[in-house]
Amino acid sequence: MSIRVAIVEDDPQVRRMLAAIIRRAPDCECIGEYATAEAALAGIPAQAPQVVLMDIDLPGMSGVECVQRLAEKSASLQILMLTVYKDTDSIFNALAAGAAGYLVKPVRAAQLVDAIRDVYGGGAPMTSGIARKVVQMFQQGRPSPREVENLSPREQEVLDLLAQGYLYKEIAERIGVSYATIRTHVERIYHKLHVRSRAQAVARYLGRAADQAGR
Amino acid sequence: MLATSHHVLRFWLGLFLAGSAWANEVSLLNDFSLRRWMVEEGLPESVITGIHQGEDGFLWCMTPRHTVRFDGLEFVAVVPEPAVQAALQRRLALATAVELPAGIAHVDVEQVAVGADGVTWITVKGELYRRQAGQWGRIEWPAQAASATALHADATGALWLGTVDGVYRWSGGRWESLTQRDGLLPWDVRCLAEDREGNIWVGTTGGLLRLRAKLLEVFRTGLPTGDEVISALLVESRSNFWVGVAGSGLAQGPPESLRPVRLAGLPEPVTVSTLRRTRAGTLWIGTQGNGLWRWRATGPAERVGEARGISALLEDRSGHLWVGTWEGLMRLDDAGKLVPLEGELPAEVVTALCEDRAGQLWVGFQGAGLLCRQVDGGMRWFRTGDGLPADSIRALLEDTTGSLWVGTTTGLGLLREGKWHRFTVKNGLPASAILQIVEDDLGFLWLGTRRGIVRVKKSLFAEVAAGQKLLLPLRSFGVGAGMVEEECSGGLGALVAKTADGRLWFPTMHGVVMVDPQDIFVTPVTPTVQIDEVRAAGRQVTDTRLPVGARDVEFEFTTPVLTVPSRPHFRYRLEGFDADWSRATTERMVRYPRLPAGTYVFGVMARDRDGEWGKPATRRVVVPALVWETGWFRAGGVAGGVLLVGFVVRAYDRRKTARQLAELERRHALERERARIARDIHDDVGAGLTEVALLSELAQAEPAGSAEHLERIFQRSRELTQSLDEIVWAINPRNDTLEGFLAYLGDFAQGFLAAAGIACRLDFPRDPPVLSIPANFRHQLWLAVKEALHNIVKHAGATEVQLRVDFLRGELCVTIQDNGVGFSESSAVSASGDGLANLELRLQEIGGQVQRASAPEQGTRLRLTARLPE
């Protein structure tokens, strides 16, 4: 069973390269190539891939927004961001919007396929930088009335350690749980982040609408 | 209303009525003009109980509750000096030493009057006695007069008597009176007084009266017209006058008893415009519209010539008759025909003709100017360009000195010794048009104008003509002096006449007016001036020192001129402000709206009608200076101002320089940064790409080792990406913040160390302050950390690195702790070689420092500190 992958990349050369890499992987197949976010939004829901490779820098609608929309449409869709620079802000936004992970171009073929598999498996990479931003995000926002959306103490602990630079393995050793447990924690952190970010986005949207109506 | 002044009639009437019940004394108004002041004119009360003229000329009036001072115009309540107060209340009493007529005791004497000539008058129980040269005589009491309430002997020797029903005057053996008969309300006389101008003042219960002897006398013709506009006047002798009345005809006779006369042949009614008696005995009559007529007593009048309008007639020394007509100048030729003059003359109305002592004929035209026809027939014209006031001539006179006076519609012209001078309203003449000119025997020039008859001393013209003075001091006589209407006849040909007794006869709009130049009174008192009020900012001030801040000062002054109060001239000067005495003016108030601070003396003087200026009255005023006006304050202010300006300029300059320096600094910093980036790109990226190109070529050239080359290309590309990433990050302004820096630092450290198998622990502040870090600072610090980590990877042999960032009081502190081998401090120059030196350099560039602590087997701790620039 091969992993169905779609590519959203505006540079045609890079797009061809990525497609070539995916086609060469035995367990992946490239089911679609899109040059713009709009085209992707139009075509991806119909094609229903499992993993999407999305360039952060897209003409027209940004990659981050595209992620947001796609994530709304399909919760199970895993989106992998591709970025040239390690622009933490954009990456964070994309992750908060619903992306599962990110890669920095130029990327080794093996690295790319590994990441696809990883993401397909539900993996959620989190670097210390991202972890810091997540911490800040949760700190800045008000605690949600729904307890479920706030970080649990264990999740907070994991997040802190991530922010300090500990790897998943190291955290698992430290608090005495399995690697898989840590991964689950991170997933849940991400989930809550997505919710929170969506809520914030809605609030922002509503706020903006209210502002406009009010003035 | 005025009784006709026929002296003959009066005499007979007086005799006839002498004993009758209703004795009609002659009215005083025949010879006196009356002026009355009551409460409406400013008197505080109507009842006048005392009148006195002070030394200064002002007239003081006493009423039951007030004492007021009169200057001829206004009544002002002023407290008089005791001498004046006493004089107001004094009643003459007869000296006990004086002998009284038989049968009269001193106690019986009621009123006493003493004349200037020493004549004494007394009233006793309805009888009047006069003592002259030691002899008492009885004077007949005026008929119907009540008992005397006041008595006064005037300067002319006449006696004034006041009763409850009027005023009586005894002069030359007869009485004149002013009573109910004259239409005035009944009043009774309380006091009598005389001023130095000869006016008689009567204090009554109905106000103040002034009786002034008429200086002019009006004579009427008895022709049946409403008003008597005298259109022509010919005086053949003192008892033979010919008078033409406009729209009516002729009257003739002595002026006191003029009678209308009809000349056979002359149309009726007719307006006679000019009359002349030639030496041959013919009376020539010029009319307006009916032509020229000739009359001899032997027959009817005959019309001569065709000209309809005759405006002037003159018989020259050779017996030729010159006729001024509406169409120009004509003359009577030997055949007795009216012929025009040969030569180019304007066909314009001739208004005046005059022959001078040289035999030249002067012809005045209505608009063409003045023509002089010389004896040889030559013509010479004079117009405004030559100095005449106007080209419209009305009167001509050659005076006794040979100067020619020309009356025009815009003033008086004078030709003296070949030079023209002019005098207009600007010089004080009351009216523009001068209609008649005559000189009396006393050195005065008399002018007939529409605003009365004017008298000017001939000698005073010279100064005005020379420009030394502006105003002509003159006297004018109008209604107040006795004229019925003040306007002299402007009819062409209406001439003024002088009789052998020196009297002058003017044709006016209402009768013939006679002036006896001898009668004109000359004021002996040099006019004094009184400064009545000084006002500052509208309020009266009595101190010399004016209130602070008041800069608007007014002076009000007056002079007592009781006969013609509106005419006196004043001139003033504010010493300390005005450079010179002002021009003569008739205003009685002067205003200085903005006097600067200082001490001033205001002086004002008045002059009488004949040009003599009196002594000035003075008043000293001090305008106090406001603080900011005093000299030293001003000087200080100026100095302060200069200093202030200096400071401001300096401060501005300094700030500008500082700003310029800062700007330059900034630009330098920017340029350095750009240079650095350019260098980095050149060095890192440029070198890297060159290598990639080379490797690609190699790979193509050696297919065998191409895998290795390609791997190397891939690596290099990644590194280049990394470098570019760093460069972009460095210059991207979004990464100016502390937060961004920390994130980047953390990411790099983790990645870098992880790749080397070293664990990386980050300890960053949770909530870093929002600060912006300048690019260079960021860059150097970043490079320093990178270098430190490189060293650790290369030499430290550590398994874990702790990266910690603190921010405290504006200082950034980066601590890098590894758990490697460390080294001994003593051997400072360790395997790290130049590494530390490099670090130090980098930190120094951003104003920071490096501290290193280490011990063998205990790892190394690096501390980089730098102060964030503002």
Instruction: Tell how strand A51-55 and strand A3-8 pair up.
Output: parallel
The residue among B716, B763, B764, B817 with the most chain A CBs within 10 A of its CB, best to mutate, is: B764
pLDDT score recorded for residue B689: 87
pLDDT tens string B541-589: 888 888 887 788 999 998 887 776 556 788 899 988 888 888 778 788 8
pLDDT tens string A110-153: 888 888 888 887 776 777 777 777 777 777 766 666 666 678 88
What average pLDDT does this structure show over B134-156? 85
On chain B, the residues whose CB falls within 8 A of the CB of A85 are: 725, 728-729
On chain A, the residues whose CB falls within 8 A of the CB of B730 are: none
Q: Does the beta-carbon distance from B746 to A128 stay under 8 Å?
A: yes
Q: How far apart are CA B741 and CA B156, in angstroms?
A: 127
Give me the helix-helix angle, A128-140 and A153-164, nearest 10°.
140
* Chain region(s) in chain A for CATH 3.40.50.2300: 3-120
Nearest CB partner across the interface for B747, out of A129, A135, A167:
A129
* Cβ atoms of B567 and B588 closer than 8 Å: no
The residue among A14, A133, A140, A164 with the most chain B CBs within 10 A of its CB, best to mutate, is: A164
Q: How far apart are CA B330 and CA B310, in angstroms?
A: 10
Q: What are phi and psi of B356, to 5 degrees?
A: -95, 180
Q: What percent of chain B has pLDDT over 90?
A: 22
pLDDT band at residue B284, thresholds of 50, 70 and 90? very high
Best-predicted range by mean pLDDT among A59-68, B445-454, B687-696?
A: B445-454
In this structure, whether the domain defined by B7-215 belongs to CATH 2.120.10 is answered with yes
Nearest CB partner across the interface for A129, out of B714, B743, B763:
B743
* Cβ atoms of B402 and B357 closer than 8 Å: yes
Shortest Cα distance, chain A CAs vs residue B841, angstroms: 28
pLDDT score recorded for residue B588: 87
Nearest CB partner across the interface for A85, out of B725, B767, B803:
B725
Q: Does the beta-carbon distance from A88 to B764 stay under 8 Å?
A: no
End-to-end CA distance of chain A: 56
Best-predicted range by mean pLDDT among B23-27, B340-344, B354-358, B494-498?
A: B354-358
Mapping DSSP onto H, E and C, the string for A68-113 reads HHHHHHCCCCEEEEEECCCCHHHHHHHHHHCCCEEEECCCCHHHHH
Q: Does A170 touch chain B (CB under 8 A)?
A: yes
Instruction: Tell how strand A3-8 and strand A28-34 pair up.
Output: parallel
pLDDT band at residue B22, thresholds of 50, 70 and 90? very low
pLDDT at A210 over 60: no
* Cβ atoms of B537 and B552 closer than 8 Å: yes
* Cβ atoms of B437 and B395 closer than 8 Å: yes
A-contacting residues of B 704-723, CB under 8 Å? 714, 717-718, 721
Q: Does B747 touch chain A (CB under 8 A)?
A: yes
What average pLDDT does this structure show over B47-75? 90
Q: Locate B536 and state its tokens.
A: 């500052």
Q: Does B729 touch chain A (CB under 8 A)?
A: yes
Q: Locate B739 and state its tokens.
A: 């937060």
B537 backbone φψ class: left, alpha, beta (φ>0; ψ -120 to 50): left
What are the domain boundaries of chain B? 7-215, 218-519, 530-624, 630-731, 734-867
* Cβ pairs bridging A and B (under 8 Å): 61
pLDDT at B20 over 50: no
What average pLDDT does this structure show over B602-611? 80
Least confident of A103-107, B301-305, B358-362, B393-397: A103-107
Please count the CA atoms within 13 angstroms of the CA of B586 that sit on its side-chain side: 14
pLDDT tens string B208-246: 999 988 778 888 887 776 778 888 999 988 889 999 888
Q: Which helix or strand (DSSP H or E) is residue B229 part of?
A: none
Instruction: Tell how strand B207-213 and strand B240-245 pair up.
Output: unpaired
Instruction: Tell how strand A28-34 and strand A51-55 pair up.
Output: unpaired
- Radius of gyration (C-alpha) of chain B in whole angstroms: 59
Shortest Cα distance, chain B CAs vs residue A11, angstroms: 17
Shortest Cα distance, chain B CAs vs residue A165, angstroms: 5
* Cβ atoms of A116 and A80 closer than 8 Å: yes
Instruction: Tell how strand B504-507 and strand B512-515 pair up.
Output: antiparallel
What average pLDDT does this structure show over B777-792? 87
* Chain region(s) in chain A for CATH 1.10.10.10: 128-214
* Cβ atoms of A47 and A31 closer than 8 Å: yes
Shortest Cα distance, chain B CAs vs residue A169, angstroms: 11
Predicted-assembly ipTM surpassing the 0.90 threshold: no
Best CA proximity match to B459, nearest among B515, B381, B403? B403
Q: How far apart are CA B589 and CA B566, in angstroms?
A: 13
Spell out the residues 6+ positions from residue B791 whose beta carbon is closer than 8 angstroms to its own: B832, B835
Chain B, nearest residue to A134 by Cα: B766
pLDDT tens string B664-715: 888 887 888 788 778 778 777 887 888 888 888 888 888 887 788 888 888 8
Q: Residue B396: is it exposed, middle or buried by C-beta count within 10 angstroms (0-12/13-18/19+)?
A: buried
The residue among B747, B758, B789 with the most chain A CBs within 10 A of its CB, best to mutate, is: B747
CATH number of B530-624: 2.60.40.10
Give me the helix-helix angle, A179-214 and A153-164, nearest 10°.
100
Domain formed by B218-519, architecture? 7 Propeller (2.130)
* Cβ atoms of B247 and B225 closer than 8 Å: yes
The residue among A17, A21, A82, A85 with the most chain B CBs within 10 A of its CB, best to mutate, is: A85
pLDDT at B605 over 70: yes
On chain B, the residues whose CB falls within 8 A of the CB of A135 are: 766
pLDDT tens string B368-378: 999 999 988 88
Q: How far apart are CA B440 and CA B155, in angstroms?
A: 25
* Cβ atoms of B211 and B202 closer than 8 Å: yes
Q: What are phi and psi of B92, to 5 degrees?
A: -65, 140
Q: Does the beta-carbon distance from B761 to A165 stay under 8 Å?
A: yes
Least confident of A122-131, B403-412, B654-663: A122-131
A-contacting residues of B 456-475, CB under 8 Å? none
Mean of all residue pLDDT scores within chain B: 84
For residues B525-551, b (16+ Cβ closer than 10 Å) or e, as one string? bebbbbbbebbbeeeebeeeebeeebe
Shortest Cα distance, chain A CAs vs residue B687, angstroms: 19
On chain A, the residues whose CB falls within 8 A of the CB of B719 are: none
pLDDT band at residue B23, thresholds of 50, 70 and 90? very low
Least confident of A81-85, A123-127, A160-164, B736-740: A123-127
pLDDT at B16 over 60: no
Chain A, nearest residue to B757 by Cα: A167
Q: Does A135 touch chain B (CB under 8 A)?
A: yes
Q: How far apart are CA B411 and CA B718, in angstroms?
A: 117
Nearest CB partner across the interface for A106, out of B721, B734, B746:
B721
On chain B, the residues whose CB falls within 8 A of the CB of A166 are: 759, 761
Q: How far apart are CA B250 and CA B252, in angstroms?
A: 7
* Cβ atoms of A194 and A71 closer than 8 Å: yes
Q: What is the largest CA-CA distance in chain B?
A: 186
In this structure, whether the domain defined by B734-867 belongs to CATH 3.30.565.10 is answered with yes
Class level of CATH domain A3-120: alpha beta
Chain A, nearest residue to B716 by Cα: A106
pLDDT tens string B817-841: 988 887 766 555 555 555 677 888 8
CATH number of A128-214: 1.10.10.10
pLDDT score recorded for residue B423: 93
Least confident of A54-68, A69-83, A112-126, B141-155: A112-126
Count of CB atoms situated within 10 Å of the CB of A112: 22
pLDDT at B472 over 60: yes
Least confident of A63-67, A125-129, B281-285, B481-485: A125-129
3-state SS class at B249: strand
